[in-house]
Amino acid sequence: MTAEDLLYTLQQRRSIPIKDIAPNEDVAAHHLELMLEAANWAPSHGQTEPWRFTVFTGTGRAVLADAFVATYRAITPPEKLDAAGEAVQTQRAFTAPAWISLGMRLSGAMPEWEEMAAVSMAVQNLHLMVCALGYIGKWGSGILSRHDLIASAVGIEPPDKLLGLFYVGKAAKAPAPGTRKPIQDKVKWVTGA
């Protein structure tokens, strides 16, 4: 791979809304393994490797659906709870063919922010492999994706933390091209005489 190939791969990475996932398109198990292996090669200070993942596919997504519904019930005011809201949460779990929980095991050997940075780099590696394999995905980090009930459902108990959920699928339509402001606007050079 050339430097230009790598830059192209980075430029093609997209975070795509779940509504843009094609229905009935599975993610091959060996592709999920490649995604996770890419994540496993992230750097971590002290080689703590704090990333922890749980993968939900097929009927296993029912566990996630149940956790979504339980969390919806826990965070929604009683007067706003309804069967339609619960159905949305159940359907959400089955919209994406694969879900990966993004956990962080705290080693105690390194500051928490460094462990979080390592997990973030692991997720970046995973996301790049997702795109390289022709899939789309997104790291969801809202309250529903990090709630204690979801953490428990994916096997994460304190002091470890759930940093969100990553969903993977095929795109229903081609993602829009990415844009960035010029790097020159974000860099200051300090050079010798």
The answer to whether 107 and 46 have CB atoms below 8 angstroms apart is yes
Mean pLDDT, residues 138-154 taken together: 94
Number of domains in the chain: 1
193 pLDDT higher than 80: no
pLDDT at 143: 87
68-80 tens-digit pLDDT: 999 999 999 999 9
Percent of the chain clearing pLDDT 90 (strictly above):
86
Q: What is the mean pLDDT of the chain?
A: 94
Whose structure tokens read 């492999």?
129
pLDDT at 67: 97
pLDDT at 9: 87
76-109 tens-digit pLDDT: 999 999 999 999 999 999 999 999 999 999 989 9
**Structural domain of 172:** 3-186
CA distances from 30 to 34, 130, 133 (A): 6, 12, 11
- Provide the terminal-to-terminal Cα distance of the chain, rounded to the nearest Å: 35
> What does the H/E/C string look like for 60-83?
HHHHHHHHHHHHHHHHCCHHHCCH
193: in domain: no
122: in domain: yes
CATH of the domain at 172: 3.40.109.10
16: in domain: yes
31-68 tens-digit pLDDT: 999 999 999 999 999 999 999 999 999 999 999 999 99
Type of residue numbered 186: K
